[in-house]
Structure 1
Amino acid sequence: MSTATSPKSYNAKDIVALEGLDPVRKRPGMYIGGVNSAGLHHLIWEIVDNSVDEAMNGHASEITVTLHKDEQTITVSDNGRGIPVDKHPKTKKPALEMVLTVLHAGGKFEGANYKTSGGLHGVGASVVNALSKEMTAVVKRDGAQYRMSFARGVPTTKLQKLKGAVRGTGTTITFKPDPTIFPKTTFNSETIAARLETASFLHRGVKVNYIDEAAGTKVTYLHENGIVDYLAKVIKERGARAIHDTPFTYRIDENERLEVALRWTESTDEHVRSYVNGIPTANGGSHENGFRGGLVKAVRNYIDTHDLTPRGVKITHEDIREGLIAIVSLFIAEPQFQGQTKDRLNNPEAQGFVESNVRGAMEQWLNNNPSIADGVIARVIAAARARAASRAASEAVSRKGGSKRVMLPSKLGDCVSGGKGQSELFIVEGDSAGGSAKQGRDRNYQAILPLRGKVLNTESATLKKILDNKEIQDLIATLGCGIGAHVNLADLRYNRVILLADADSDGHHITTLLLTFFYRHMPALIADGRLYIAVPPLYRVDIGKETYWAADEPARDEIVSEHGGRSEPKITRFKGLGEMDPKVLWNTTLDPSKRRLLKVDIDDHLETDRAISDLMGRDASARFRFIMERAEDASEIDV
């Protein structure tokens, strides 16, 4: 019988009311999305957004962010008006203390102080304070300087007026994340730099300084051309070739401000980066929907007006947007974000506002630039023809449902259970490894698909080339769920898809190639949590009568350090999965009770897209830069 409290004993004493900032510390995920790397860095964005709000409303011209030598302490300062320090008429507490210790306390609820703002809930600064081991705020106002310190959201000092007169105004916040909340409290310098540079693009004329004390560097971002410069940078990063030299640009600054910059490229995908009041909306929302709707309607109207639709070709919205790279930046007075992490805009009126503006401006731009328009429409028609060919090819290799096995690759070692229960597909590197895996698996629910050598780099290939590739064809047929816009997870033949490659550098490269394919052409598998990476051992370590398995060099060294004192260790390095005995492969890599799987997940879509573009795209300079920046960190290079 259960010993849990019965419903009859449930009364008033069982109700817990969290006070002050306790809710933030109890449920940080509700406020910053989680305690992973993205949540950790969200602390910086909340404080930076407050400084940006000052700049956005004409009260500040310079923002400085400092990552201190310990790489765990951040300082954000601006030359804005400074957080008020006088006592609040109701609470009799300094306004600075209220802003940093009370949820929903701030100066952005009324329109008089901020025309537009990224932080409207009065939550950001107090949340950062609650999740910080320590925080200090320094404010310059009215010729004086004030300081107040906190620990985990609780004041540790009273508001202090420092001696001596000072010039200027502004706010400086220094904080260090609480290690009892965050498993890892070390900030990533590159992530911070990228976010700050983006802020300088979106707020042209605002100087943004970034100081990395550990690296001994200081960078100043200042972009007078705003998102036009940003668009050029994104196109270069992605290694895309634009089909027209002059970008489409649009800017309106009335009660609401809208900025758009875009170009069509030869790329086979669409890439839109959208922002609201300077905050990235990775999951889009009403403004992004309005942009897409206005763009598609404008191009359709141009095609219809000039009678450019070719016979036998149906042009879809996907065809019109293929190859598009765009920056959309909207500033509105009262944004309604989905959640505190603000990654999606919900304002319904924003869709109509953006759509009508983009549609009118795009139609005018196409009509005023007929040579550019001709190139764009030719690009759209080519995309429509390619999509029709892709659909036919996809249907030819796609296996609908789990009963038709005649179209499955001959080298697939399928499982008995089909697409039911806990079935899983291992995509294995090479026929030799595939043979060992087929012998070592549990064939009731584990299927094995061997792929020959390194698969095609789909980041740099055309869709036609991708669909013509034999290994990709086999993969699509085995999964059975289609590709691209036609992916249907209901037709996926396995509950899990697991990438299994050698533990060496070649194996990592093959895994990266496969991840690129799934990210670009079957992202639904990642979003639904169906894609995994297996971690096979690279070393076998025999010490006395005991055998240990190590996935890499650090794990090997740790095993030797911990157990090597008893006798001389014997270390064997596997050349590949193919030389493993099937029983060993089962015990180390296939057995669910013993194996280690890494679930493929995406914390930051923009960072992921940038990384794949840099590492796998056509632009070799991005990879060279990546290697040179990390050369000093490399050890025991596998060549």
Structure 2
Amino acid sequence: MSTSAPAKKYNADAIVALEGLDPVRKRPGMYIGSVGSAGLHHLIWEIVDNSVDEAMNGHASEIVVTLHKDGQSITVSDNGRGIPIDKHPKTKKPALEMVLTILHAGGKFEGQNYKTSGGLHGVGASVVNALSKEMTAVVRRDGAQYKMEFERGVVTSKLKKLKAAVRGTGTSITFAPDPQIFPKTTFDSQVITARLETASFLHRGVKVTFVDEVNKTKQTFLHEQGIVDYLAKVLKDRKARPIHEQPFSHAVDDEIRLEGVLQWTESTDEHLRSYVNGIPTGSGGTHENGFKGAITKAVRNYIDTHSLTPRGVKITHEDIREGIVGIVSVFVADPQFQGQTKDRLNNPEVQALVEGAVRAEMEQWMNSNRSTADGIVARIIAAARARAASRAASAAVSRKGAGKRTMLPGKLSDCLSSGKMESELFIVEGDSAGGTAKQCRDRNYQAILPLRGKVLNTESATLKKILDNREIQDVINSLGCGIGPKTDVSSLRYGRIVLLADADSDGHHITTLLLTFFYRHMPQLIADGRLYIAVPPLYRIDIGKQTYWAKDEIHRQEILEEHGGRAKPEITRFKGLGEMMPKVLWETTLDPAQRTLLRVEVDDQLETDRVISDLMGRDASARFRFIMERAADADVDV
């Protein structure tokens, strides 16, 4: 007989209708993706995008973004027309208040005030207001200044006209993120700088200034050559050497405004960056698919027209686009994005428009530059032959099926669970630590793979050398999803892959080596959110009867400052995971109820590429510069 309380009747009283901006505060992830760093900075992009829309439509020429001294508040100003302040005929509220407090209120729906825009749903500014502990809007129109203030989306100071007369027009929005929503509210200057510089590339002729009061710097970006200048910067940052001097570039403003630029390089990967109305589309979409399709078809037509088809090797689209570094930017009147964060374009008609325009122009460019085109084709044929040569080696590490154990390494202690998503693979540094982890794991869903010694640095290694390395082979075979472009996430044998190394500098080095391997050869696992880093303690601190675990020196000092006054602390520094008792390793690192796992994410592909290249590449001078630039801000364990 059940003794639980009777269930409450499910009737009209149980239905809750969120009003105003409440839906945003209840479910912020629906509007900004997450409340982590990416979501925090997305607030800036929403306001900046509104200013960019003014510039894109010819109403503004300058945007100024100021990060204030506290590092937690931002002002975005432009010299556009200024948000209207007159009262709306239906609501009787100032238009400014409607824009900042009502979802789906804005001037971008009818297509009369904005030909194209990045903010198309009318929710960006109001979402930022809802998620800010305070916001101030100042509008300059008709020779006067108007001010309005808000807290968490609610008006706290009605629209008022300021006494001082002003020249020009424009809008300034100042906001501070709400700590009730965001775990961390401190902005990253480097992230802001990179995004603003990109905006200046995509909107040539628009002056973008970043005033960083935290670091006391001021940067102004103005690029008259637009994405052509952008390509040069991307090539330099990636250290990619082009195989031809002049890039292919194309610009058209017909059914859609389209700009594309690319160069083939000596690199072995393809790197395309795509944008819609100035918004980065990290997951691509129809515009990027059209650009890729145009490249493939134009090159195939050139090869067929000039009888350059090689014997004994099949040229694939991967061979054609290998080594390409390119940028495509389109401006669409009515873009259909996947979600409010606008990460992927879904307009089906855009693909055909982009492909048709770029394909014709590229064919003409190749036929007009025969020596350059022939060099590109020679590079493509070489890529095809190299890919064919490595195909057999790659096939040797293809997944044989989760149910088959013949290919699994002998030192893998697999889990019992047959459910992929519930299972976890811990890749552990050293046999000793692996032995401890095997003793304390939950064998129902936790698998352990110990690695012996330093992992191969795969940044500059050939595919053959990588596949010949026993430790890397064990990782690939344990995961069962293949390697390189053929990586199949659906065949992955585990829901999570967790890197578990010592908490000291050697452990961090091994983690970095493994991250380099996954980033370069299995990036799909990172994109799918499957790769994690465990955070084991470096110190055990006993104060009286209480035990605390510190992950590093800074954390140790914080614990001592907070609890050290009670009794004399006893501090133990672990030499490695293998030194821990199994019970301790379980409680601090493996137990899902108490552990800390860091999910590996890539926010900025270009910056990640550069850092990995600097730290792990063959150029020692780049590594030296990286260390020296940060030496003053870091504790180096020698």
Smaller-chain TM-score bracket: over 0.9
Alpha-carbon offset, residue 634 of structure 1: 1.5
Give the match's secondary structure for 1:477.
helix
Alpha-carbon offset, residue 63 of structure 1: 0.7
Tell me, in whole angstroms, the C-alpha distance in 1 between the residues paired with 2:488 and 2:386. 20
Tell me, in whole angstroms, the C-alpha distance in 2 between the residues paired with 1:30 and 1:442. 35
Give the match's secondary structure for 2:53.
helix
Letter in 2 for 1:137: A
Gap change, CA 1:498 and 1:256, over 3 Å in 2: same
Alpha-carbon offset, residue 465 of structure 1: 3.6
**Structure 1 residues 430-449: aligned runs within 5 Å:** 430-441=430-441, 445-449=445-449
Alpha-carbon offset, residue 593 of structure 1: 5.1
Alpha-carbon offset, residue 570 of structure 1: 3.1
Gap change, CA 1:402 and 1:36, over 3 Å in 2: closer
Letter in 1 for 2:351: Q
Give the match's secondary structure for 1:126.
helix
Partner of residue 401, structure 2: 401
Alpha-carbon offset, residue 425 of structure 1: 2.6
Partner of residue 493, structure 2: 493
Alpha-carbon offset, residue 408 of structure 1: 3.5
Tell me, in whole angstroms, the C-alpha distance in 2 between the residues paired with 1:591 and 1:87. 58
Tell me, in whole angstroms, the C-alpha distance in 2 between the residues paired with 1:604 and 1:315. 31
Q: Provide, for residues 37-58 of structure 1, a one-character-per-residue CA deviation record: whole Å limited to 9, x for no partner.
A: 1111111111111111111111
Tell me, in whole angstroms, the C-alpha distance in 1 between the residues paired with 2:25 and 2:420. 41
Tell me, in whole angstroms, the C-alpha distance in 2 between the residues paired with 1:454 and 1:153. 53
Give the match's secondary structure for 1:148.
strand
**Structure 1 residues 9-408: aligned runs within 5 Å:** 9-11=10-12, 13-408=13-408
Q: Provide, for residues 317-375 of structure 1, a one-character-per-residue CA deviation record: whole Å limited to 9, x for no partner.
A: 11211111111110121111111111111111110010111111111121122222122
Tell me, in whole angstroms, the C-alpha distance in 2 between the residues paired with 1:190 and 1:259. 26
Contact 1:251 / 1:257 at 8 angstroms: preserved in 2?
A: yes
Aligned CA RMSD, in angstroms, stands at 2.5
Comparing 605-614 with 16-25, greater Cα deviation is found at 605-614
Contact 2:289 / 2:351 at 8 angstroms: preserved in 1?
A: yes
Gap change, CA 1:426 and 1:153, over 3 Å in 2: closer
Letter in 2 for 1:638: D
Contact 1:539 / 1:556 at 8 angstroms: preserved in 2?
A: yes
Alpha-carbon offset, residue 200 of structure 1: 0.5
Alpha-carbon offset, residue 410 of structure 1: 4.2
Partner of residue 481, structure 1: 481
Alpha-carbon offset, residue 196 of structure 1: 0.3
Tell me, in whole angstroms, the C-alpha distance in 1 between the residues paired with 2:382 and 2:632. 46
Alpha-carbon offset, residue 411 of structure 1: 4.0
Tell me, in whole angstroms, the C-alpha distance in 2 between the residues paired with 1:154 and 1:439. 55
Tell me, in whole angstroms, the C-alpha distance in 1 between the residues paired with 2:237 and 2:388. 29
Give the match's secondary structure for 1:211.
strand
Contact 1:322 / 1:383 at 8 angstroms: preserved in 2?
A: yes
Tell me, in whole angstroms, the C-alpha distance in 1 between the residues paired with 2:422 and 2:117. 47
Gap change, CA 1:395 and 1:289, over 3 Å in 2: same
Q: Provide, for residues 361-419 of structure 1, a one-character-per-residue CA deviation record: whole Å limited to 9, x for no partner.
A: 11112112222212221222222222223331122234502454444334444455577
Tell me, in whole angstroms, the C-alpha distance in 2 between the residues paired with 1:173 and 1:536. 43
Contact 1:67 / 1:213 at 8 angstroms: preserved in 2?
A: yes
Alpha-carbon offset, residue 254 of structure 1: 2.8
Gap change, CA 1:141 and 1:559, over 3 Å in 2: closer
Contact 1:268 / 1:463 at 8 angstroms: preserved in 2?
A: no
Letter in 1 for 2:291: F
Gap change, CA 1:403 and 1:149, over 3 Å in 2: closer
1:573 has 2:578 as partner: no
Comparing 346-355 with 572-581, greater Cα deviation is found at 572-581
Alpha-carbon offset, residue 504 of structure 1: 0.8
Alpha-carbon offset, residue 605 of structure 1: 5.0
Partner of residue 638, structure 1: 637
Gap change, CA 1:352 and 1:31, over 3 Å in 2: same
Comparing 536-545 with 495-504, greater Cα deviation is found at 536-545
Give the match's secondary structure for 2:158.
coil
Gap change, CA 1:543 and 1:178, over 3 Å in 2: closer
Alpha-carbon offset, residue 482 of structure 1: 0.8
Gap change, CA 1:177 and 1:619, over 3 Å in 2: farther
Letter in 1 for 2:637: D
Contact 1:62 / 1:207 at 8 angstroms: preserved in 2?
A: yes
Gap change, CA 1:389 and 1:90, over 3 Å in 2: same
Contact 2:67 / 2:74 at 8 angstroms: preserved in 1?
A: yes
Gap change, CA 1:426 and 1:156, over 3 Å in 2: closer
Contact 2:393 / 2:464 at 8 angstroms: preserved in 1?
A: no
Contact 2:397 / 2:483 at 8 angstroms: preserved in 1?
A: no
Gap change, CA 1:559 and 1:41, over 3 Å in 2: closer
Contact 1:238 / 1:619 at 8 angstroms: preserved in 2?
A: no
Give the match's secondary structure for 1:449.
strand
**Structure 1 residues 615-630: aligned runs within 5 Å:** 615-617=615-617, 623-624=623-624, 626-630=626-630
Tell me, in whole angstroms, the C-alpha distance in 2 between the residues paired with 1:158 and 1:30. 29
Contact 1:268 / 1:462 at 8 angstroms: preserved in 2?
A: no
Letter in 2 for 1:354: V
Structure 2 residue runs without a partner (length 5+): none
Q: Provide, for residues 516-550 of structure 1, a one-character-per-residue CA deviation record: whole Å limited to 9, x for no partner.
A: 22123223333444322222221233445665432
Structure 1 residue runs without a partner (length 5+): none
Alpha-carbon offset, residue 161 of structure 1: 1.8
Gap change, CA 1:78 and 1:534, over 3 Å in 2: same
Tell me, in whole angstroms, the C-alpha distance in 2 between the residues paired with 1:254 and 1:366. 23
Give the match's secondary structure for 2:157.
coil
Alpha-carbon offset, residue 430 of structure 1: 2.8
Q: Provide, for residues 419-440 of structure 1, a one-character-per-residue CA deviation record: whole Å limited to 9, x for no partner.
A: 7684433222234433444455
1:519 has 2:500 as partner: no
Alpha-carbon offset, residue 506 of structure 1: 1.7
Q: Provide, for residues 198-225 of structure 1, a one-character-per-residue CA deviation record: whole Å limited to 9, x for no partner.
A: 0000011111010011111110001111
Comparing 213-222 with 152-161, greater Cα deviation is found at 152-161
Contact 2:64 / 2:77 at 8 angstroms: preserved in 1?
A: yes
Partner of residue 589, structure 2: 589
Gap change, CA 1:397 and 1:374, over 3 Å in 2: same
Tell me, in whole angstroms, the C-alpha distance in 2 between the residues paired with 1:290 and 1:504. 47
Alpha-carbon offset, residue 617 of structure 1: 4.5
Contact 1:51 / 1:77 at 8 angstroms: preserved in 2?
A: yes
Alpha-carbon offset, residue 564 of structure 1: 4.1
Alpha-carbon offset, residue 156 of structure 1: 1.9
Tell me, in whole angstroms, the C-alpha distance in 1 between the residues paired with 2:523 and 2:626. 25
The number of aligned residues is 636
Task: Give TM-score scaled by structure 1 length.
Answer: 0.93
Gap change, CA 1:345 and 1:613, over 3 Å in 2: farther
Gap change, CA 1:464 and 1:419, over 3 Å in 2: farther
Contact 1:411 / 1:450 at 8 angstroms: preserved in 2?
A: yes
Alpha-carbon offset, residue 452 of structure 1: 3.3
Give the match's secondary structure for 1:397.
coil
Gap change, CA 1:151 and 1:467, over 3 Å in 2: same
Gap change, CA 1:109 and 1:231, over 3 Å in 2: same
Contact 1:418 / 1:494 at 8 angstroms: preserved in 2?
A: no
Tell me, in whole angstroms, the C-alpha distance in 1 between the residues paired with 2:104 and 2:551. 48
Tell me, in whole angstroms, the C-alpha distance in 2 between the residues paired with 1:157 and 1:586. 54
Contact 1:61 / 1:205 at 8 angstroms: preserved in 2?
A: yes
Gap change, CA 1:66 and 1:467, over 3 Å in 2: same
Gap change, CA 1:623 and 1:261, over 3 Å in 2: farther
Tell me, in whole angstroms, the C-alpha distance in 2 between the residues paired with 1:162 and 1:135. 17
Tell me, in whole angstroms, the C-alpha distance in 1 between the residues paired with 2:108 and 2:6. 46
Gap change, CA 1:414 and 1:66, over 3 Å in 2: same
Letter in 2 for 1:10: N
Contact 1:239 / 1:619 at 8 angstroms: preserved in 2?
A: no
Tell me, in whole angstroms, the C-alpha distance in 1 between the residues paired with 2:454 and 2:376. 35
Partner of residue 458, structure 2: 458
1:538 has 2:533 as partner: no
Alpha-carbon offset, residue 110 of structure 1: 2.1
Gap change, CA 1:207 and 1:535, over 3 Å in 2: same
